[in-house]
Amino acid sequence: MPDHTRPPEKRVTIYDVAAEADVSPSTVSRAFSRPSRVNSETADRIRRVAERLGYRTNPLARALTTSRTRMIALVIADITNPVYAEIVRGAQEAATDGEYTTVLIDAQESDRLERAAVERTMSTVDGIVLASSRMSDSAIRMVAKQRPVVVLNRALADVPCVVTDDPRGVRRAAEHLGELGHDHITYVAGPQASWPNGIRWRSLLEAGMELEIKVRQIGPFSPTMAGGERAARELCARPATAVLAFNDQMAIGIIRGLSRMGVNVPGDVSVVGFDNILAADIVTPGLTTVAAPLYAEGSAATRHLLTMIAGAPGHTGRPMVLPVRLVVRDSTATRNPGPGRARRQWARNRSAPDPAAHRP
């Protein structure tokens, strides 16, 4: 049982460190907030004493004198989406290198929740990275007027942005499917508020015109495996031999949903995803996907944010564009030449009961 008779441990203060290091409290404060203004030997001695005593600086208290908390906010659309794992890692390591702490905010795919969380956090952070923000352009600009902001996966005038070369990625996916003999591609759309979703659909329209491939869109669907499974049921009603999904999670859900309905991937339909998350290489068949440099996205956005906090100009007039590449795995194959085989298979399964519909 805990000993309630023991007095609580005394918290080490700046005055304890000053007394032990034989300097004034103001010198201790400068050693941590503005070390360049303290003799290097004195600063080293103060840090050694502070470590031995267990002294920890209070970032919010330090902000009162330095106007810096050494904290930044990273806002992501959905913490359960694995695409953000490498983005968060890249951002956090870049922040750590710059001696900053990262505050993670999950917007839960809600512009309302995202804006409320940003407003609550703004006074305690020095800058903000918005990853796949669902807020409106005007809301983002409002935030950018109050704190340094870098937007990830979205191009926005007057605000620093880091984006991936999605048009190039869509083009490579369309070329790949065209080389396999597919002359129709169905795009399975993600959230309407997602900037990349619009870019990917418009890029597919352009690629289709140039490559003489017919394209159509279904959706929007939730950017999850469950959303992909719902899309599979709609695909069954409107058969296609090639599918480009908004992201990998949806693509994996489509493969699972089609498999339950007896449709073979890639024998009857080829499926391509976007992002190259870890599961893309684990799922069966392995998922062909447009690989985004997720770690580099988080790292580049955060490093740029830290330079802005330090006083560098943020906006260069154009977004920073990172390259993508097509990773070909087993979910795409040559279009089945059998006359109408896939369409007949899909038609037979349209009236079949959907096992997913009976799940608790």
What's the pLDDT tens digit per position in 224-270?
A: 999 999 999 999 888 889 999 999 999 999 999 999 999 999 999 99
Query: Mean pLDDT across the stretch 293-319?
Result: 89
How many C-beta neighbours within 10 Å does residue 44 have? 13
Q: Tell whether the model's pLDDT for residue 63 goes beyond 80.
A: no
Q: How many residues does the chain have?
A: 360
Which pLDDT band holds residue 354 (cuts at 50, 70, 90)? very low
Mean pLDDT taken over the chain = 87
Write down the pLDDT at residue 55: 77
What is the enclosing helix (H) or strand (E) of 184?
strand 184-188
5 pLDDT higher than 60: no
Most confident listed range (206-215, 303-312, 346-355): 206-215
Of residues 309 and 58, more confidently modeled: 309
- The pLDDT score that the predictor gives to residue 197 is 96
Q: What's the pLDDT tens digit per position in 133-174?
A: 989 999 999 999 999 999 999 998 889 999 999 999 999 999
Contact 76, 284 (CB under 8 A): no
pTM as predicted: 0.77
Which pLDDT score is estimated for 346? 54
pLDDT at 33 over 90: no
Rounded mean pLDDT, 214-227: 96
Question: What's residue 239's pLDDT?
Answer: 85
Interval 93-118 mean pLDDT: 93
Residue 10, pLDDT above cutoff 50: yes
Q: 253: which residues sit within 8 A by CB, 6+ positions away?
A: 224, 225, 226, 227, 228, 229, 230, 231, 232
- pLDDT for residue 46: 85
The alpha-helical segments, DSSP class H, found in the chain are 14-21, 25-33, 40-53, 59-66, 83-97, 111-121, 137-144, 166-179, 195-211, 225-237, 248-260, 294-309, 341-350
Report the run of H or E that residue 131 belongs to, with start and end: strand 127-131
Q: Give the pLDDT of residue 123.
A: 87
Domain 166-292+326-351, CATH number (from 3.40.50.11610, 1.20.1740.10, 3.40.140.10, 3.40.50.2300): 3.40.50.2300
Mean pLDDT of the 321-348 span: 77
pLDDT for 9: 60
When the candidates are 1.10.287.3510, 3.40.50.2300, 1.10.540.10, 1.25.40.10, the CATH number that belongs to 71-164+294-324 is 3.40.50.2300
**What is the mean pLDDT of the segment spanning 332-336?**
92
Give me the pLDDT at residue 45, please.
87
Instruction: In whole angstroms, give the CA distance from residue 130 to residue 125.
Output: 13
- CATH 3.40.50.2300 residue ranges for the chain: 71-164+294-324, 166-292+326-351
Pick the range with the lowest mean pLDDT from 87-96, 176-185, 317-326, 347-356. Answer: 347-356
pLDDT the model gives residue 357: 40
Quick one: tokens of 44?
Answer: 């080293």
